[in-house]
Amino acid sequence: MTEQESSFSRTALLAQPEAPILAAARLTACARSRYAETLLAETGNDQVVVVGAGLDATALRLPTGRHRVWVVDRPGVLQWRARLFAQADLADTATSVAADLADGLRVGDLENAGVDLTRPVTVLWLGVSMYLAPDECRRFFGDVSALADGSALVFDYHLSRELRDDAGRDYACAVAAMAGASGEPWQCAASPDSVARWLTEHGWRVEADIDEADATDDGFFDRQQYLSPMRLVRLVHAVR
Ligand SMILES: C[S@@+](CC[C@H](N)C(=O)[O-])C[C@H]1O[C@@H](n2cnc3c(N)ncnc32)[C@H](O)[C@@H]1O
């Protein structure tokens, strides 16, 4: 999320909290974080690398002292993140690693920042794949395949157009227009079969690939006034 996008979202969310697209955007951000943090608690890996971190605050929510967290993003985004954390008086305990995924992610850069490559890592790659070209997504799976056995990858992706339902198509249409206008167009969408192929060609095994709605508690949507399930976002857990 860019600085401009973030301030737009804040203004829009506060002005119209019940607007369906904005409510769905909040669910998407919360559902992916919760999915990732549930898996983090289950895997037991103490090294966590958040790629395309933006303002991700996982490090602040994890049990104190049990994990070490690295955040990877473009240099300008990392500076913006540092500024906002300082303004909010939050101590950012994560270690920053600057990278542009369009050039690939070098695990050597992670090692230089203190990641122990001989031990498993959990990589969170949330809200990012859609901003990359399909080839860049495939290359990312290859880049992180250099991590130790026992590593885990948690990410989300968008279903290709023909696999979306009406709600997913409407949401994608509205949000993609906003993302494109702010210079960060959505580029990658795929079928579960393609994503499974991209992962397995780099030695990853898919443990789960589910609709975002399936990551919510039973009865969640029955209790919601402004939200309904949509088929667009998939959440994936892969291991090696
Ligand atoms: C929508 S935000 C997601 C932030 C956070 N991971 C979350 O789950 O809310 C997308 C993030 O991906 C980053 N990103 C997009 N393209 C990137 C690239 N080529 N290299 C590095 N980071 C990138 C953006 O800078 C931004 O921080």
CA 220 to ligand 1 center in whole angstroms: 28
Beta sheet of 95-98, edge-to-edge order:
95-98, 68-73, 47-51, 122-125, 152-158, 233-239, 205-211
Q: Looking at residue 175, which CATH number applies to its domain?
A: 3.40.50.150
Structural domains in the chain (count) = 1
Query: pLDDT digits over 159-214, tens only?
Result: 999 999 999 999 999 988 888 788 888 999 999 999 999 999 999 999 999 999 99
Torsion of CA 105, 110, 116, 121, to 10 degrees: -50
Tokens representing residue 4 in the block: 């401009």
Tell me: pLDDT of 6 over 70: no
pLDDT tens digits for 38-84? 999 998 899 999 999 999 999 999 987 889 999 999 999 999 999 99
Contact 2, 73 (CB under 8 A): no
Pick from 37, 29, 27: nearest CA to 58: 37
119-171 per-position pLDDT tens digit: 999 999 999 999 999 999 999 999 999 999 999 999 999 999 999 999 999 99
| Domain limits for position 200 | 3-239
Label residues 134-162 b or e (16+ Cβ within 10 Å = b): eebbbbbbebbbbbeeebbbbbbbbbeee
Q: Is 57 in the pocket of ligand 1 (CB under 6 A)?
A: no
Given a cut of 90, whether residue 30 has pLDDT beyond it is yes
Residue 2 has pLDDT above 70, yes or no: no
Query: Do residues 189 and 171 lie in contact, with contact meaning Cβ atoms separated by under 8 Å?
Result: no
Which tokens in the block code for residue 163? 């696999």
Please give the distance, rounded to the nearest whole angstrom, from the Cα atom of residue 222 to the centre of ligand 1: 32
Residue 127 Cα: closest atom of ligand 1: 3
Ligand 1 atom with least separation from CA of 124: 6
**Phi, psi of 32, deg, nearest 5:** -70, -40
| Cα–Cα dist 178/189, whole Å | 17
